Amino acid sequence: MWNYSKKVKDHFLHPRNVGELENPDAVAEVGNITCGDALRLALKLDAKGRIAEVKFQTFGCASAIASSSALTEMIKGMTLDEAEKVTNEDIARYLDGLPEEKMHCSVMGRDALEAAIANYRRKRGAPGKEDKSPIVCRCFGVTQEQIERAIRENALDSIEEVTHYTKAGGGCRSCHPQIAEILLRMRGEGRGAAEREPRLTRPRMTNIQKISLIQDTIEKEIRPALQKDGGDVELIDVVDNTVFVALRGACAGCPMSSVTIKRAVEEKLREYVLPDLVVEEAQA
């Protein structure tokens, strides 16, 4: 379903620098296998203080493996000060984009790198950054500081985007009100979103790809639920980002048809295809 770039596929199928590093100078582990993604990153520096060797082990999806592999290639030869400036957007850009729903994998890589650098500095008596903010999403162990940073650095504007970049809110959803409060507060503080360059996410889908994905989502995710109650839906047309459908069976002429269009059809298509799709009922 995801539209991966050639670089993502290459780093997934042929990951670089996988394995354990003997006698590393710094090690970090982020994520949690029980939550679906985990990454262990190990670094070894040369006499000039540059990253000479780097290895990773990860548990996760194709994007997690590709992001980790890309990160290790990017930071070789860098000083710790230089590596510390690498952002999750840099990782996505190196891979020619990631699906927005998978951007949390690039964030995990960035977090692992920063944790490894902090580990190195603590070993030598220097203070390391420590996140002491409260946990907002208990399903995935995401803290308030992690959410605020993702919003600030990636100009996020919705709970859905926060989930894409941090996984927060992707489980039981009980933290959605807290995430919404953070978004509202930071919007009020003015995080400079308009001044940021456009986010590098997934490559744009062709119109044929978009229509195919819409049809597939309707067939697999929407129609079965409607058919259980004697209803049905048919795709009529797609014009830009407006999807025209016709309700059939028990749904046709139902006084709640507008609710069905928005909640049963539009929400699913926004979740599985594009977040800015609009669904309208086709006029007879």
- Mean pLDDT across the stretch 199-218? 73
User: Using CB atoms within 10 A of its CB, is residue 107 exposed (0-12), middle (13-18) or buried (19+)?
Assistant: buried
- Mean pLDDT across the stretch 195-220? 70
Examine residue 83 and state whether it is found in any structural domain, yes or no. yes
Range of the domain at 180: 135-195
Same domain membership, residue 71 and residue 50: yes
Q: Which of 67, 88, 123 is the last residue of a domain?
A: 123
- Percent share of the chain, pLDDT over 70: 90
Tokens representing residue 95 in the block: 């891979």
Q: Which of 105, 137, 175, 251 is catalytic?
A: 105
The pLDDT value recorded for residue 204 is: 57
**Tokens 């998978």 label which residue?**
102
The pLDDT value recorded for residue 2 is: 59
Count of domains for the chain = 3
**Residue 13 region, left (φ>0) first, then alpha (ψ -120 to 50), else beta?**
alpha
The pLDDT value recorded for residue 195 is: 42
Same domain membership, residue 148 and residue 93: no
Confidence of residue 7 (pLDDT cuts 50, 70, 90): very high
pLDDT greater than 70 at residue 249: yes
pLDDT greater than 70 at residue 34: no
**Tokens 């590596």 label which residue?**
83
Same domain membership, residue 18 and residue 108: yes
Examine residue 26 and state whether it is found in any structural domain, yes or no. yes
Q: Which residue has the higher pLDDT, 138 or 15?
A: 15
pLDDT greater than 60 at residue 203: no
The pLDDT value recorded for residue 35 is: 59
Summarised one tens digit per residue, pLDDT across range 147-194 is 998 998 888 888 888 999 988 888 888 889 899 889 988 877 665 444
Q: Which of 100, 123, 146 is the last residue of a domain?
A: 123
Residue among 147, 71, 60 at smallest CA distance from 109: 71
139: annotated active-site residue: no
The pLDDT value recorded for residue 139 is: 81
The pLDDT value recorded for residue 281 is: 87
- β-partners of residue 246 are 234
Sign of the alpha-carbon torsion through 44, 45, 46, 47: negative
The pLDDT value recorded for residue 126 is: 75
- Mean pLDDT across the stretch 117-143? 84
Sheet containing 51-59, strands listed edge to edge, beginning at the edge strand earlier in sequence: 26-32, 37-45, 51-59
105: annotated active-site residue: yes
The pLDDT value recorded for residue 73 is: 96
Same domain membership, residue 186 and residue 111: no
**Residue 275 region, left (φ>0) first, then alpha (ψ -120 to 50), else beta?**
alpha
Q: Which residue has the higher pLDDT, 225 or 24?
A: 24
60-64, 200-204, 256-260, 280-284: lowest mean pLDDT where?
200-204
For the domain that residue 170 is a member of, what is the CATH number? Answer: 1.10.10.1100
Examine residue 202 and state whether it is found in any structural domain, yes or no. no
Same domain membership, residue 217 and residue 172: no
Same domain membership, residue 112 and residue 24: yes
Which pTM does this prediction carry? 0.62
Examine residue 67 and state whether it is found in any structural domain, yes or no. yes
Same domain membership, residue 105 and residue 41: yes
Q: Mean pLDDT score of the chain, rounded to an integer?
A: 85
